[in-house]
Amino acid sequence: MKNLYLILAICLISTFTFGQKNHYQNNLNDNNSIQLNNLNKLEIFELNENAIHNDIISQKKKSYSKTNENKQGVSEYINTAKNWNTGTVENSSKVVFNYNSQGQLYLKTYYSWDNNRWNYSLKFEYVYASGKLSMLTDYWYENNSWQKNTKTTYSYNAEGNVVIAVKQYQHNSVWTNYTKIDYTYNQYHRLDYFIDYNWTAVVSNWTQINKTLYGYGSSKKNTNSNHNIYFITVYKSDNGWVNYRRTAYTYDDYDNVISEASEGWTAPPSSVGKTLDWNTFSKLDYTYDVSNRLVEYITWYSDGTNLMEYYKNNYTYDEYDNVDLQMVYKRQGGVWKNNNRVINLVYDNSFSSDDLILHNIFDEKIEIKHMLKSMANEEWTSSSTWQSTGGMNIDYVEVHTLNINREKLFSTKVYPNPSNGFISIEFDKTMSNPRFEIFESNGKRILHKEISNGEKINTSNFKSGLYFYRLSDGYKTSNGKILIK
């Protein structure tokens, strides 16, 4: 079973380390967006049973704000990789997504490439109740048929947050308890802590294994908002909860994560008295440009005594804010040397990120601004040349999202529309220091700035036509269209 989940994790993570920055975009004015974000969160729970970064990842997902419109959902992506026996690049893995008439993912199927054909590997089936995921079942393929592996059922509270997730495995055609996670939320409806359990068959009872606690702090830009995660601490159940490991985060004045340290509750290597304390065994340092785009992050690892730089990732962007190059360097002999890179990134800029359903294809470092169609991976060889190691090709399909009438939890107003040379932006007091953005129809961003309530923006220099806008404080987001005469 563990091997199957390892295969699944490898399928999900491409060599391209794309993801998102630390911009929390929970779109609270749209019920369908909440369904999709919950689905993202739950999928990560399935793939990472320790669930250390789940809340952070779910908060960083793009907001899906449009209803009663067609979106572009990923229908299939194919990974290619170098065959180290032959030296050629060939098909490696494939994932296919299927959606129901409400725009919900109901089937995800994984394939492996062997003997010049695609072979079934794994599949996940999703069942919904009242618009929320109620059961997730995974299968593995053997002897020309699908074999049930595990089943997870979910329970929710009145706010729509998951409170219990129970996983069972198939044994002699009977579902048998396996693991359970109980979730507790704070007054802001954010995850406070969760407890992992294993099923003890001898006494027919759940046994606590570990507890993960989230520590929040006020954001630097939004001083009245308590939503930045500063610590995620894991405790082991050993005659009471004892420290085990934690992840610590620091932020800049724009609420970008600038440091992420993984720490263990251990005695330092040079400690004579073996006094236990938090000791860092790995760290990530992030650097951003003036547009708050991630341009570099460095990975550090401990050699048992000191932290040492190990990998460095650098990113460049095109005129549409899309990443067009990722360079990866490895520290050797005290200098950075080429290791691998991602090139030939092809985008369809007519679709912005708000038009897409991506389902956790990428890692969580860089925000995808537009529809990514394909990319290529290369490695630096001993002969000082770049050599292809594969890539990814992504296809999309129109997905109709369910239109649910729901009272807005916050209101915004952008007027006059059409614009007569100026537009005014008004928002209610639940938004704090929001950022206003305007995009051309091809997805190119032409304005982005932090605004005050009632502020006027000069549009007289813009060409006549239809534009899109987004107003977001990192917690709530509002999108719309505006016509400029």
pLDDT tens digits, one per residue of 32-71? 222 333 334 444 344 333 333 333 334 433 333 333 357 8
Closest CA to 441 of 464, 461, 460, 423: 464
**Rounded average pLDDT over 204-215:** 94
Count of other CB atoms within 10 angstroms of residue 99:
19
- Could you tell me the pLDDT band of residue 400, with boundaries at 50, 70 and 90? confident
CB 209 within 8 A of CB 238: no
Go through the domains of the chain in sequence order and give each one's CATH number. 2-400 (no CATH), 412-484 (2.60.40.10)
**pLDDT category, 134, cuts 50, 70, 90?**
very high
Query: Strand, helix or coil at 91?
Result: strand
Confidence check: pLDDT of 87 > 50: yes
Q: Is residue 28's pLDDT more than 80?
A: no
**pLDDT for residue 312:** 97
Percent of the chain with pLDDT strictly greater than 90: 47
Sheet hosting strand 422-427, strand order edge to edge: 412-415, 422-427, 456-458
Is a pLDDT exceeding 60 seen at residue 31? no
The pTM for the full model equals 0.74
- Looking at residue 265, its pLDDT comes to 93
Question: Which pLDDT score is estimated for 115?
Answer: 82
Inter-residue contact 38 to 160 (CB < 8 Å): yes
Query: Residue 365 above 80 pLDDT?
Result: no
The predicted model gives 9-37 an average pLDDT of 34
**Segment (H or E) for 377:** strand 370-380
Closest CA to 74 of 396, 369, 361: 396
Instruction: Look at residue 399 in the predicted model and tell me its pLDDT.
Output: 86
Q: What mean pLDDT is predicted for residues 369-395?
A: 94
pLDDT band at 208 (very low <50, low <70, confident <90, very high): very high
Q: How far apart, in whole angstroms, are the C-alpha atoms of residue 91 and residue 83?
A: 9
